[in-house]
Amino acid sequence: MSKILADKIADYVELGPREYKAFCEIDRKYFVPAGFERKAYDITPLPLADDSTISSPLTIAKMTSYLELDDVDSVLEIGCGSGYQAAILSKIVRRVFTIDRICRLVEVAKERFKKLGLYNINVKCDDGRFGWRAYAPFDRILLSAYIEDMEKELLSQVKDDGFILAPVKVGNEQVITRFYKDGRKEMLEACEFVPVKKGVVK
């Protein structure tokens, strides 16, 4: 079934061989909330706790592609959610770090990663706006929720030749944007994400 989903995604998003293989290997059914199993292979977002969502597989594929993961060793994700994006990344890069502010989502994601043998993913419950300095710098930082302004602390945690990929609010729209340490921004395409929120939910 994962291959069927990967083929659906490939009809809309250009996937490299490693990305396609990752979507074939990671079964989305393990990441959807109870009661939504029949929708696991649909290309639609699904609800999680506290206004969080598991993004559409098309969105996951686009963000993965925009990260340009050739020769990348480490990725930090802000907004773990179900863990599906981190799981896809774990099949492409050596080390994945992911943070969520909702602790119960983190605990569920940890169990999923363990059950699937994804031991190259580190996950913690924290306010993701401040990154994960203990493991910095990262080749890439990915925000899976939209921001209005880039946090300087996050920019300080990406390598000089890396970038941050984030949905950014521009007027009444959101735009997937690459942020570079030298101040450059590269706007890629319109999108729709939930907002980054402050604090931690125990």
User: Which sequence positions are flagged as catalytic?
Assistant: 55
Phi, psi torsion values for 90, nearest 5 degrees: -65, -20
Question: Residue 68: which residues within 8 A CB-CB, separation 6 or more?
Answer: none
Helices (H) and strands (E) in the chain, counts: 6, 9
What is the distance between the alpha carbons of residues 138 and 120, in angstroms, rounded to a whole number? 15
- Residue 75 exposed, middle or buried by CB count within 10 Å (0-12, 13-18, 19+): buried
What is the distance between the alpha carbons of residues 143 and 145, in angstroms, rounded to a whole number? 5
Quick one: angle between helices 2-10 and 17-25, nearest 10?
150
Helix (H, G, I), strand (E, B) or coil at 130: helix
